[in-house]
Structure 1
Amino acid sequence: MHSPVLVVSDLSVVRAGRLAVENVSFELASKSETAVVGPNGAGKSTLIAALLGLLPRSAGDVQILGRHLAPNGYLPGSIRSQIAYVPQSLSLQGRFPLTVAEFVGFGFDSPGPRWPWHDLRRRLQAVETALERTGCNDLQHRLLSELSGGQLKRVMLSFCVVRPRQLLVLDEAQAGLDVPSNERFQQLLLELRREEGWTVLHVSHDLDMVRRSSDQVLGLNRRLCCSGTPDNTLTPERLSELYGPNVVPYRHHCHG
């Protein structure tokens, strides 16, 4: 039996002087897909940032691949290299002088035992394969600063898949993707889980997609209001408690 990839115990986070996440506990099983859902302002992005050590936590414990996340967010490089992250948004100031292929190549160079940085042939092949898997072949010579929001999301995913990982964390990564890109994205997540054993944690407002693809759903509104399988958590009664009786969760239809 595999150990959990992520164990979160009684996690609380204070942000901007208020308790944004309170006493949250859950686990991620190996090779599973877990969705975090909830209304705007519920603390979903704050939770993700705290799990990755990007925000300090005020209480609780986080273990990733068997190692405790230090209070200052430190994880050994051997553990950090097994985590891939696509943020909710990424803004580049001015004309950032880096091409898509160069950026994805930096993902290959992350420390780890599988990919020697000096093997240029293998590096080039890995970048080419990652761009192909995410449908970004035609973008490889473009500057990052020239990309639309949706294109940048796909390039960020290329950066993540350019080398083997164990945990993929996505904060509304599909927002801004058009329909073909969204379908390709979903297929890629399925391949990463089935063929390469990745574990996926993602924030989403697309409850249809969550219902189809997730093994576990976490309903967050500062506290963990509900958790379990999609069938158990995405019921009208649970959603009314989570979002409020007059709020209808939506699906993104943005194009990028």
Structure 2
Amino acid sequence: MSIDMSNAVSSKRAEPSYTFQRVHAALQTGHALTVQQKREEPVPVFMQQSVLDASCGTHMLAMLLITLGQAKASALHDMSRRKHGVAAAVWTAMSPYYFTGINPKDWVDAVNSLGLPLELTARYCIEHEVDAPAVKWLMQGDLVAIAFASVKHHRTKHWALAVGVEGLVVGKSHFPQRILLLDSGGAEPCFYAHNARLRLPDAGPGSRRAKPGWHKEPKQKMIIWMHESESWQPEAVRLLAAIRVRRTS
């Protein structure tokens, strides 16, 4: 009696698995992270803040505007001296917060005051779920402004630009596990679109075992993320706000 082993083997074959990464389509990796603006040469995206200021919200906004083609990098580098244009408007709106930092609702108001063709969709932790919408938007290829804070003390409150998401694929199921950040507090990325990340822990307080479609569930408890960067020690944080920013034209 013969046995058809091909069917037996195929029935037990594990589903294919691999890691995935989705990053905003405008970002071009290389020795420097760049974007293409109209017909010009690719321009650098990254802007690094100093140790003396609290302007992470301003730097993050500048990187966002460059990525979406709403302002020139050269103009934003010189925003404090500009008299006209988008860069001057950004400085007028954001300069009051340069050394104090800016909360999420004030940041949204400041961006809306610029009158740019942008659509903002905000989620605040005191009013809405934040984690799942942020991951969902990133899976759709959007840029998301992220505000987060340390869960252990009140010293760390920070802004970063979420440019993508990565995780595991098993069969046809996606397991988002890490939010990819462009963080003005870190070093300029080289051959990557990010220089920091928020990792989803699968054990411990506030953790979530990454399961398929967890970011699509209607209700979520607060997630404790691990902020990881080559420039800083890992730190447990929670999201204060997630703001999706899209061009309207």
Give TM-score, length-normalised by structure 1: 0.26
Query: Larger Cα Rg: Structure 1 or Structure 2?
Result: 2
Give TM-score, length-normalised by structure 2: 0.27
